[in-house]
Amino acid sequence: MAQKIDPDLWSDDAKPHLMGGKLPSGEVVFPMPQGDAARDVEPYKLSRQGTLWSWTTQGFLPKEPYEGPGSGPGEGPPDFQPFLLGYVELPGEVIVESRIVDAKLEDLKLNMPMEFCIVPFNGTHDTFAFRPMAASQEQAA
């Protein structure tokens, strides 16, 4: 397994969870604040499941410095592959911006059940994403 893109982004449980923060007011935020902003904020394991709130396609190479798929040695704009981005609502918690994997744009639907997963970011690091629940159930079978 590759290194996490950020060591505090998700838990190290057998079934990892994104790590948010619970403010003294009870509001849940993501990501967990750092430094002085983390004072009085409790680490909070976010739900692994939610629903698709909104989505789009990232059809062009992001601004520099980009270090995702299509950005390794010898790679670049000719090798860039468009990818899906979305907002996943974790009910009663927060809405998370995330890469969407194991889906095609035409398959996505409002309120579609989604599940947290870990995916390769580049040759050395992993990041998080969400995928449709049906895709995760097919992979488990």
pLDDT at 141: 43
pLDDT truncated to tens, each residue of the chain (141 aa)?
689 999 899 999 999 999 999 999 999 999 999 999 999 999 999 999 999 999 999 887 776 666 665 555 544 555 677 899 999 999 999 999 999 999 999 999 999 999 999 999 888 889 999 999 975 554 544
pTM of this structure? 0.83
What are the extents of the domains in the chain? 3-140
For 101, counting Cβ atoms within 10 Å of its Cβ (0-12 exposed, 13-18 middle, 19+ buried), the class is: middle
Whole-number Å distance between alpha carbons of 118 and 4: 9
